[in-house]
Amino acid sequence: MPQVRDLSVVDVPGGCILTSCDISAGFGEKAHDGLVVTPEVTARLTLRVALLEMIASGADVVSVSDVVGAEMEPTGRRIIIGLKEELSKANLNHIELNGSTEENMKVTQTSVGVLVTGFATKAALKLINVHEAAVLFAFGEPIVGEEVLQKMTEMPDYHLVKKLVADSSVLEVVPVGSKGILYEANLLAKLNNRVFKETSSLDEISLNKTAGPASVILAVVKKRDCSIFEKHFSGAQYLGELCGNEEQI
């Protein structure tokens, strides 16, 4: 499995090395930024996406690198502060940052990219892992731009994602980004050679709206364990089923 969604997966002795990445541009305090927000917040939300993708796979984070399209002082330094704050939120304070800033040109628009590297045994990975009747749940709501600034504390957090990954009834966990819930649900089904049968109460706009910095988390749950799952995970929104080709007829 060389690539699964936004993850690159490389087989190595004893398991797999995985990488995830993300970038934000035009969010900051520079002259040509499209949305005024502190560099610290831009950094936090950018790293959040890549970290959640890695953690949701079942892998352990082993390193984080950043590429800052701005000078070290003051923007780069503030971005690094934000990255370290996000690592702390994910209980990854031990991870050392490696990166670079732009010192040769005057930059008038903020950008920051991150690369997260992880490792997992093949048994620990929860990728392309649906081999039985399953249903799909969502946590959170699709938000972007100003909405994110207003609802940052309401987004699904690392504790939830780690709890989902550790639960034996959960087959896969998928953060939703800019392509929306329906796209990720259909891609998830396709990767598992299944079909997503949507029966949720969400409207078409919500299903297709960007979820910005992973403001929605999807969980594939064994159909036989649905009742127990909903008792253990409050806030789970039922989206529908992942059906085998013979089941959709």
Query: Residue 175 pairs with which residues in a beta bridge?
Result: 217
- At 202 the pLDDT is 87
- At 1 the pLDDT is 62
Quick count: other Cβ atoms within 10 Å of Cβ 198?
A: 14
Instruction: Classify 99 as helix, strand or coil.
Output: strand
Residues 198, 166: Cα–Cα separation, whole Å: 26
- At 2 the pLDDT is 80
240: region left, alpha or beta (phi > 0 left; psi from -120 to 50 alpha): left
Is the Cα dihedral 22, 165, 118, 149 positive or negative? Answer: positive
Residues 197, 185: Cα–Cα separation, whole Å: 9
- At 247 the pLDDT is 57
Answer whether 221's CB lies under 8 Å from 135's CB: yes
Tell me the H-state helices in 90-242: 146-151, 158-166, 180-191, 204-208, 226-232
Say if residue 110's pLDDT is above 70. Answer: yes
Say if residue 105's pLDDT is above 90. Answer: yes
Is the Cα dihedral 71, 90, 175, 117 positive or negative? Answer: positive
Query: Which of the pair, 157 or 5, is modelled with greater confidence?
Result: 157
For residue range 131-170, what is the model confidence (pLDDT) as tens digits? 999 999 999 999 988 899 999 999 999 999 999 999 999 9
- Average pLDDT score, the chain: 95
Say if residue 191's pLDDT is above 80. Answer: yes
Residues 75, 149: Cα–Cα separation, whole Å: 19
For residue range 8-45, what is the model confidence (pLDDT) as tens digits? 999 999 999 999 999 999 999 999 999 999 999 999 99
Tell me the pLDDT band of 249, cut-offs 50, 70 and 90: very low
